[in-house]
Structure 1
Amino acid sequence: MATPSSPFAFFDELFNKIGERLQPPAWAVHEIQHRAVLFLNHVLQQEPEAQQRLVRQQGRVVQFQWRFVTMQLVATPAGLLDLAPEGATPELTLTVTQDSPFDIVRSSLRGDRPAVQITGDVQLAAEVNWLVDHVRWDVEDDLARLIGDVPAHAIGTGARRVVAALRKFVGDRTGRAAAASGAE
């Protein structure tokens, strides 16, 4: 949660109010979830070890929750993911406990994972953790298919520099805030 002195406190409160009042229609949620599954499967197909691990977990349901957003996924016999059938009972529930989207972005820029509450099967949780630790989207490779290797590499290098600068900025600000609060 953002602290009262945080410049994002206003935006956090606004986000909370909008999220409570505006709920997208069911068809839109379903379509977004399908697009997310397509993206996740695209990334998984680039990592054969991840697919082999998911084959061993076929039929098992994992539920992801953050605030008012819930998504249930099931491992398929092909080692990919699909939306779980309506009413499926999850064997593992992962709930992101950080409410503020700005805090999640800030911690991600520092290289930290958001805080997650894990409920359910320990072995399945270990497999999901392995996937999170080892599967990465190769954006540069996908971009190279569209515009060529050299421009994709140049864009990738520029993006890495921007991310490094943002991480440094966030780290510097976090360090100064911690030093200021420790001096009080």
Structure 2
Amino acid sequence: MMREGAPKTIYRKDYKAPDFLIDSVDLAFDIYDGRTRVASKLDIKRHGTNQAPLVLDGESLEIISLSINGRALSADEYRYANGKLTIENVPDQVCFEAEVDIVPEENTSLEGLYRSRTMYCTQCEAEGYRKITFGLDRPDVLSTYTVSLTADKDTCPVLLSNGNEVSRSTADNNRHTVVWHDPHPKPSYLFAIV
């Protein structure tokens, strides 16, 4: 008898190549105590000649806004259920943008972005990235990442992500921002912030 929430066995014979690939991911985290806003911009292209809908992984995300190629999507242009965001009839290349809210302080699964005492950290392996924002959370989709982290300088004095630091700034309200860029394509499970 299989218990609920038990890992599902995945066999190589059942492998199906992704319908879409993501060339680059731009993420902006605006971290506040009790809520974190994540803005994402994904450069997506269709893989092969399929005409499948765009299906992105995402769990426990509060959608603020979604857009395709700069045009805001209304609620009747997508479906978000069972950890999947489905958008029909997308072109072969799209710029997908999303703003979502997450609550790391309430994330007790220790997957995605969560708070451990005074530190925010991520655990994306094997499928934790989907608890941060929408994406193709699978190991055969490789993307470059540019990440902007903004938080209170006193509660989050160190802001780290993959790659190389690009810039650092401080605002008048004691919030600071650090931007990171990782030019080496990687799967979402290797994404990390602290």
Larger of the two Rg values belongs to structure: 1
Give the helix-richer structure, 1 or 2. 1
* Bigger fraction of residues in strand: 2
Asked if these proteins are the same fold (TM beyond 0.5), I'd say no
Bigger relative CO (Cα 8 Å, ≥ 6 apart): 2
TM norm structure 1: 0.26
